[in-house]
Amino acid sequence: MRFHWVPSHYRGPFLQLSLLLGLPFLFLSNSTAQQQANTDGAIVGELRVARGGILPNNVLVVLQRSGAQVGIRYADGEGKFYFEGLPGNVYHVVIQEKGFQPLDMAVNVNPVVQHINYMYAELVPTEGQASPRKTNSDVKGSNPAMVDPASLLSHFPKEAQKRYEKAMQLQQRGKHQSAIEEYKKALSIAPNMYFARNNLGSLYLQDQQFENAESEFRTVIEGNRADANAYFNLGNVYLLTKRLDEATDLIQQGITREPQSAFGHFLMGSVMLQKGKPDEAEKQLRAALEEDPSIANAHLALANLYLKQNRNTEVVEELQSFLRQSPDSSYAPQARELLKKLRHEGPPR
């Protein structure tokens, strides 16, 4: 599976990408559409190995809720994985990979506030297990200084490194306010620690502190103009605050830097939907699916777009694709109901 929602060219310390996005679902009644659109959540994750080690192939990722298993995924070659169709609750991402310490991370899914939750996890080799180090020749990227996490961190004062690592631990445990304070302390020592600033902006975005998030992401771009991630993050701030022209410009700059980003194309498709440009929205959503066919919500967005255009054959195809990928989604009952009507009664009026 090709998964590009977190830019694949970046190999430095964990750089967070945040998205607060709800899709309108036209086949729901107007009185319930907004409530229903916020009942689904998703977890997008990325794994790294401590100190720049090489990630094993096909790491098994288990999702649990209240001690019961609710999902299984294998991380792709870049360590990325994805769970969607998640009602609001506290979930645990559990990994028990041979040669590494067990990992159990809690993720609080609250779709009313944030549709997609991004998490980053570091696998730590068990005692006595050697973990091969990445070198600049192992990873493609435009900035060699951003290849090896240990090397990049070493450029900053020890106290800033300590604050950054503490912030990451707090963030992984869901203690966002404490993490914010530690990131700010790290940045007061090392203002050019842009990966810490990007994470800080992402936490502000999750808390809907849009002005603070915008300020941090702008600073990231000023110091890292080649990094698509920062453009997507700032473009997302503009999308959420209804500055659609500015969002379009920033997201396009990100796509120019990373043309194969499924996340970037999905984000641009969402902007085009809000701008009332169905042709461009369709183009961008199709591009997202070409890069990552597992984005089920892109199929649902296309189904809604086609429904407005009375393209019922395409609506059926997209709903079928969505249901194959997310049969347990909270949107699935409405999708099945619409599918039944289109097959037997024609589109609802």
pLDDT digits (tens, 9 = 90+) for 106-145: 888 877 666 777 777 888 888 755 444 443 333 333 232 2
Q: State the amino acid at position 275 in one-letter form.
A: K
Range of the domain at 49: 30-125+150-344
User: Residue 26, SS3?
Assistant: coil
User: Domain containing 317 — which CATH number?
Assistant: 1.25.40.10
Q: From CA 261, how far away is CA 230, in angstroms rounded? A: 13
Note the pLDDT of residue 21.
41
Task: Check whether 246 has a pLDDT greater than 70.
Answer: yes
Task: Check whether 174 has a pLDDT greater than 50.
Answer: yes
Total structural domains in the chain? Answer: 1
Task: Check whether 6 has a pLDDT greater than 70.
Answer: no
21-59 pLDDT, tens digit each? 434 344 433 333 333 334 577 888 888 887 667 888 889
Higher pLDDT, residue 8 or 229: 229
The band of 271, judged by pLDDT with boundaries at 50, 70 and 90, is: very high
115 found inside a domain = yes
Note the pLDDT of residue 180.
94
The band of 229, judged by pLDDT with boundaries at 50, 70 and 90, is: confident
12 found inside a domain = no
Closest residue by Cα to residue 171 from 236, 117, 101: 117
Residue spans of beta strands (DSSP E) within 28-167: 41-49, 60-65, 68-74, 80-86, 89-95, 103-109, 116-123
Q: From CA 199, how far away is CA 84, in angstroms rounded? A: 23
Question: Which residues lie across from 123 on neighbouring strands?
Answer: 49
Question: Which residues lie across from 45 on neighbouring strands?
Answer: 81, 119
Q: Residues with Cβ < 8 Å from 79, sequence gap 6 or more?
A: 46, 47, 48, 55, 59
pTM, two decimals, is 0.59
147-165 pLDDT, tens digit each? 334 556 678 899 998 998 8
1 found inside a domain = no
14 found inside a domain = no
Note the pLDDT of residue 283.
96
119 found inside a domain = yes
Q: From CA 37, how far away is CA 32, in angstroms rounded? A: 8
132 found inside a domain = no
Note the pLDDT of residue 8.
30
**Hunting for tokens 């430095």 — which residue is that?**
12
Note the pLDDT of residue 321.
92
Closest residue by Cα to residue 269 from 44, 20, 23, 73: 23
User: What does the pLDDT average to over 321-334?
Assistant: 84
10 found inside a domain = no
Distance, CA of 259 to chain centre: 17
136 found inside a domain = no
